[in-house]
Amino acid sequence: MQKRKLGNSNLEVSAIGLGCMGMSFSYGPPPDKQQMVALLRAAVERGVTFFDTAEVYGPYTNEELLGEALSPVREQVVIATKFGFNLNPDGSPGWQGLNSRPERIKQVAEDSLKRLKIDSIDLFYQHRVDLEVPIEDVAFAVKELIQEGKVKHFGLSEAAPKTIRRAHAVQPVTAVQSEYSLWTRGPEAEVLPTLEELGIGFVPYSPLGKGFLTGKMDGNTTFGKTDFRSTLPRFTPEALKANHALVDLLGKIAAEKQASPAQIALAWLLAQKPWIVPIPGTTKLHRLEENIGAATVELSPGDLLEIETAAAEIKVEGARYPEHIEQMTGR
């Protein structure tokens, strides 16, 4: 597996990471835990070194899963986790608003270290920007955790350029994580230029459009009540049907390259900047191997121009999230 550095930091990770949320949260009933332990270890064996989790995934159970699976190979991996929510006191899925107060950040760090069975969090993201707490206070709290050796690198998720700059001035930001793919291109306008200027890495989550860009869905696809895509405007039957032109485009390029649509979608992301590291999620070994294979797919300038030209003609239908969640992004 090729390696990439996240911006100007010395944090080197596999060119394709693994988003672990779906192993215990959000995409329907969670899979068998021991099967997921085996999958995580299989990822390490295949060269994946970058794993993404958060306390809110479960809550807690996703971090515990990674702690069990990765503790035997701790020296080979980089683990990213996140703070920023008030979780439900009864431990049920979901949250009760944002909370990035310094004391909360430090408590989350202590708890995450225990669940992950590690001495230091490699990359600690603010999960969503909390307008009630100045970003400088957030950055300083993480700075103190770094000085104490409990955290190695600071990250932000779904943050706006002004917020990134203010945080970076207090504690250098190693990576920003936001949704980015061929059907979610918002970061291109302002976020990516800001990161390039400041030397910050970029970690696209949902790089396969929450499964849509794999080509395995159409207007007849249905989602269970425990699958959060059932609540997303972009996953209504009408939107799935309207957006299928993107999948057709990927399928055309994939046929020419003897690859899969998912591999083309990931290869397109890797070709945008050398400091971009996508983190597709999966619960299946064959999908893991397919995603890893994207790192060897070469897209020529002509291929990229063809994708860009065709994609420009396609209007993506449907919002990413319901409005109350969308309001937490781009702050």
Catalytic residue among 57, 125, 180, 205: 57
Q: Print the domain residue range for 170.
A: 3-208+272-296
Instruction: Dihedral sign for Cα 54, 261, 330, 174, please.
Output: positive
**Is residue 12 domain-resident?**
yes
pLDDT at 206: 97
What does DSSP say about strands 95-98 and 85-87: parallel, antiparallel, or unpaired?
antiparallel
pLDDT at 26: 87
Number of domains comprising the chain: 1
CB 41 within 8 A of CB 73: yes
Which is nearest to 178 in space by CA: 170, 186, 168, 166? 186
pLDDT at 187: 98
pLDDT at 25: 86
Q: Is 57 a catalytic residue?
A: yes
* CATH code (residue 280): 3.20.20.100
pLDDT at 171: 98
pLDDT at 301: 96
Burial of 28 (0-12, 13-18, 19+ CB in 10 A): middle
pLDDT at 92: 87
Extract the residue ranges of the chain whose pLDDT is less than 70: none
**Is residue 8 domain-resident?**
yes
109-137 pLDDT, tens digit per residue, is 999 999 999 999 999 999 999 999 999 99
**Is residue 100 domain-resident?**
yes
89-115 pLDDT, tens digit per residue, is 888 888 889 999 999 999 999 999 999
**Is residue 216 domain-resident?**
no
